[in-house]
Structure 1
Amino acid sequence: MCVTPQSLEGLCLRIRLVTSVCSLTHDGTGHAHSNLAYADNRREKDRLRIAVSSYTLTQQETDIMESNGEKHEQEYPVHYYEEIGALKNHKLTTFHIGAAGIPELQKAAEIMKIASQKRLTYESTSCANLMQYGFTMGDSDFLKSMAEFLTVEYGDDVDSDDLLVTAGASQGLSTIGSLLFHKGDFVFIESATFFSAINIFRDDLGMKLVNVPMDEDGMDMDALDELLTLYRPRSSHEISDKQPFWAAVYLVPCFQNPTGTVLGAERCKHLIRVARKHGVLIISDDVYGLLSYTVSKNDVNRSREFICPKRLFAYDDKSDPDYRGNVASVNSFSKIFAPGVRLGWYELPKRVHNIVRDSGLCQSSAGFNTFTSGIMATAINLGLVAENLRDLRRLYKKRMQSLIDTLQRELPPEVLFTRPKGGYHLWIVLPEKCSSMELLKICEEKFSLAFQLGSIFSPDEQCKNCLRLSISFVEEAEIVDGARRLSKAIKSFLDSPTEE
């Protein structure tokens, strides 16, 4: 087959036209129609519609596309966990995945379908404000609805003026870190903490991480106080209106990742005093705060089935005489709904709120994720988000209790583990000289299960004798069976003469 440069160029133009049209938004039949709005007139629209619905690539065109690396249907991973290879072995019990399972995601998809139909029907017959550049704080309906929803779920007043929409917790962390701090600034973190936060602060933003010791109740506040005193003279940060804090303290106070622990009331109060004393910003990662398993006994006024821990932001009381606003709460729908919506929110003190809202990033984009927040507002107003959250709490409570009960029966006494009352995660501590890396190899090869290594939650790879189990992706029956197999693997590992 002979192809001239001229014919090749013309052919490629035709192929690019068809594939670009076909790759746009499709209806349920697989035919693309979105590009028709750009046609000059009705005749051109009809011509394109016919061309798109009936055109088939010839073998010559297919060969040319493949030879140029332009395959008609490029194969990409369908989601993040496939991309990183976390599901390459489908026989494994997936204790290592901290995300919702397929049935929960399917319910979330149904909710979004209902809410989208309702909201977009309204938008298409009104001014379509949701399709315009948005309000910098986020969709106004969302802010009001979210404040009301959170007030009920927390059992504590939430002011819509304190909220600001984000594209998820990770984007929230990155944005607030980049706006309020610069390379070389200090961020004080729990000695075991969310590994993506480590990557964002250290690798993306170039901040210096300082480990703060923890015990079974969370971050040690006396140790934090001493470390802040020690490191303040080493800071080169220049305080300004746009960067009023010389350092940050990052932590996950409720149902912590990876340990599942909750920072108690006295420690929360102590932390606020320390932050005010040293002039630092607490970045409170609250993505698990609403996933409480504690059942309400007599909350007649709120009619809540589950009671959530008081959020850290509320301990920084605006009525205090020395209040300045030292807590920034970062939250997300990823754990309480579905990660694919890429939607979250800040709860911020006024001085931090103004910095984020007035930033070039927020002003240029006219808010983060306006469209999805508008759809979510409708879902909230229909009562679908509260119902879904209630169902998730019931489901995860059963799963977590099954995991705890099984480990309690099966694990040897020298192996310790937390007993979370909410969230996704449970933390296991092996005897000090044991390597969870070696245990993982045995578990994958002989016991068909996987977990997260404790070392990834530490910037200096401590916690090598620890591991994290997550219950969100695994059905209850598999959790029980997987926990039994894990216990057998640990017993075998501890009895092995090669233990290190």
Structure 2
Amino acid sequence: MTHQESEYVQLKVPKGMYDLNVGQPCPQLLPLELLSSADRTHIKDPTFLQYAAQQGYLSFRKELAAFLSSETGHGTGADELLITAGNSSAIHLIGTHVAGACNTRPLALVESPTYQFAVNVLKVCGFDIQTVPVDKDGIVVEEIERLLIEEKLRPALVFTIPSHQNPTGVSLHPRRRQKLIQLADSHGFHILADEAYQLLSFPEAGTDLALAAEDTTEQGVVFTIGTFSKIFAPAIRLGWVQGRPPLTQKLSEHPMLISGGGMNSVMAGWIEPLMKNGAVQTYLQDLRQQLFLRYRHLFRAVREKLPEIQVITDPSGGYYLWCKLPEKLDSLPLFELATQKYNVSFRPGTRCHTSADYLRLCFAYHTPEEIDKGVELLASAYEEYKNSLFPRAKPRGK
């Protein structure tokens, strides 16, 4: 059974626990052989081990640009890219960059529900937070426009997950994408687009463009952040910022990069030949198929074994299924019962920056067979929890 309990991991999953919360790839799908066989010629050059170029070394950015262009069908230039240590570091880098340019305490508009840890990082960067709802077409840009015009809000940043959003799985509608960029340009704020799942569309679904690729403003208003964490392996801590060249150039002058140089060039040198020879592309194609298979198992299992729980969205990619409990039920006590008695876990809505009647299920970590068993256990926990609130009347004796 899938589990992870070694000293290396941040989140331990004990053997016997069906963890439908953990947003990580299945260990059996991790590219161990690819990484171990990669050409590491760069390591023979002593300059490769010095402080790195602040934007990331050019040949890697060129190879990454070619990879992104091939995957999305949209030309991407090396000058549009800045290398990061993954999306969490990129959120902090951009957050401090934007906040540092403000004369007063900055405001960030963030999706609700959303990736809670991104909100926490933005708070550390000094932002006040105001939420904007998400519907079937992504972040409600019409509400952002209302806040700008009627409430006279002046955000410095809007945080959104445009493709296969965490936790809902929805993608931002093309009309809203263009409107959001127009609002940013006319009202003077930046967009931080967390695109961790952009390249994980299911087969036949088609890959969304990065939001930054649709930014035609002169100086640029969109920071797209991407990562190899979801499409290859989390521990390599390698990602990128994509934006108009003036944006990435200015970001490369961040004091942290001036002090420490570019991020994670050693791992970039490990991944570069795997992009060049097509190994990353082949692996990604198979990963999409595997995720789609797991998604279908989870969707079917929830519909069959938890018919009272509403599946809110039908994602076309990503990691997650977003669900809603019936009225008056709370995902927190269900979570406690499920984890403590039934050895199955999920993510309550309150941990996704929204209300407790929602829950998130991840289909990426477990095998299809384990997903089926996990949902079966969750169904048992759900019945016990519901019956504790609404006991069934005992039949009267004759």
Compute the TM-score of the two structures, normalised by the length of structure 2: 0.90
Q: Give deviations 1:411-445, integer Å, cap 9, x for gaps.
A: 22463332211111111111242110111122123
Task: Tell me which amino acid in the other structure corresponds to 2:367.
Answer: E
Quote the offset at 1:111 in angstroms. 1.7
Taking structure 1 as reference, are residues 432 and 446 closer, same or farther at Cα in structure 2, changes over 3 Å only? same
Moved over 4 A (4+): 230-233
1:100 is the counterpart of 2:25: yes
Once the two structures are aligned, what percentage of the paired residues are identical? 30
Distance verdict in 2 for CA 1:213–1:111, change over 3 Å: same
Is 1:207 aligned to 2:127, yes or no?
yes
Equivalent residue, structure 1, for 2:173: 264
Q: Write out aligned runs for 1:316-331 (5 A).
A: 316-317=215-216, 323-331=218-226
In 1, Cα distance between equivalents of 2:203 and 2:219: 32
Give the one of 319, 338, 351 matched to 1:424.
319
**Structure 1 stretches lacking a partner, 5+ long:** 1-75, 236-245, 296-305
2:213 matched residue in structure 1: 314
Please tell me whether residue 389 in structure 1 is matched to residue 253 in structure 2: no
Q: Which residue of 2 aligns with 1:280?
A: 189
Relative contact order, CA 8 A, sep 6+: which one is greater? 2
* 2:368 is equivalent to residue 476 of structure 1: yes
Cα distance in structure 1, aligned partners of 2:323 and 2:309: 11
Q: CA deviation at 1:399?
A: 0.2
**Aligned equivalent of 2:329, options 417, 429, 434:** 434
Could you tell me whether the CA contact under 8 Å between 2:20 and 2:363 is conserved in 1? Answer: yes
- 1:277-312 CA-to-partner distances (Å, cap 9, x unmatched) read 2111010000100001041xxxxxxxxxx6212222
Work out whether residues 55 and 249 of structure 2, in 8 Å CA contact, stay in contact via their aligned partners in 1.
no
Structure 2: distance between partners of 1:97 and 1:312: 26
Partner residue, 1:402: 297
2:379 counterpart residue number: 487
Alpha-carbon distance between aligned partners in 2 of 1:328 and 1:177, rounded to the nearest angstrom: 11
Q: Secondary structure at the match of 2:40?
A: helix
Task: Tell me the equivalent position of 1:497.
Answer: 389
Quote the residue 1:174 is aligned against.
Answer: 92
Contact 1:416 1:430 in 2 (8 A): no
Q: Which one of the candidate residues 74, 80, 89 is aligned to 2:10? A: 80
Matched, 1:192 2:108: no
Offset at residue 391 of structure 1 (A): 1.4
Partner Cα separation in structure 1 for residue 209 and residue 327 of structure 2:
34
Deviation at 1:327, TM superposition (A): 0.7
Q: Give the direction of change, closer, same or farther, for the CA distance of 1:232–1:112 in structure 2 (3 Å limit).
A: farther
2:258 & 2:151 partners in 1: Cα distance? 35
Inter-partner Cα distance in structure 2 for 1:310 and 1:294: 16
Runs of 5+ consecutive residues of structure 2 not aligned to the other structure: 1-5, 392-398
**Which residue matches 2:273?**
378
Between the aligned partners of 1:432 and 1:256, the Cα distance in structure 2 is 24
Q: Report how many aligned residue pairs link the two structures.
A: 384
Relative to the length of structure 1, the TM-score reads 0.73
Q: Whole-Å Cα distance in 1 between the matches of residues 61 and 122 of structure 2? A: 28
Q: CA deviation at 1:477?
A: 0.5
Aligned ranges 1:28-427 → 2 under 5 Å? 77-82=7-12, 87=13, 89-105=14-30, 107=31, 109-115=32-38, 118-120=39-41, 123-124=43-44, 127-182=45-100, 184-202=105-123, 204-229=124-149, 232=152, 247-295=156-204, 307-317=206-216, 323-413=218-308, 415-427=310-322
For 1:201, the aligned partner's letter is L
* Contact 1:332-1:343 within 8 A present in 2 as well: yes
SS in 2 for 1:81: coil
Q: Which residue in 2 is equivalent to 1:448?
A: 343
Cα deviation, 1:420-477, whole Å, max 9, x if unaligned, reads: 111111111112421101111221234320011110111xxx3211111111211110
Counterparts of 2:249 and 2:272, CA distance in 1? 23
Q: Give the Å deviation of 1:490.
A: 2.8
Structure 1 CA distance for aligned equivalents of residues 24 and 324 of structure 2: 22
**Cα deviation 1:321-373 (Å, max 9, x = unaligned):** xx441110011110000111111000022332122112222122221111111
CA distance in 1, matches of 2:310, 2:275: 43
Larger Rg: 1
**Matches of 1:311 and 1:442 in 2, distance apart?**
40
Whole-Å Cα distance in 1 between the matches of residues 191 and 262 of structure 2?
Answer: 23
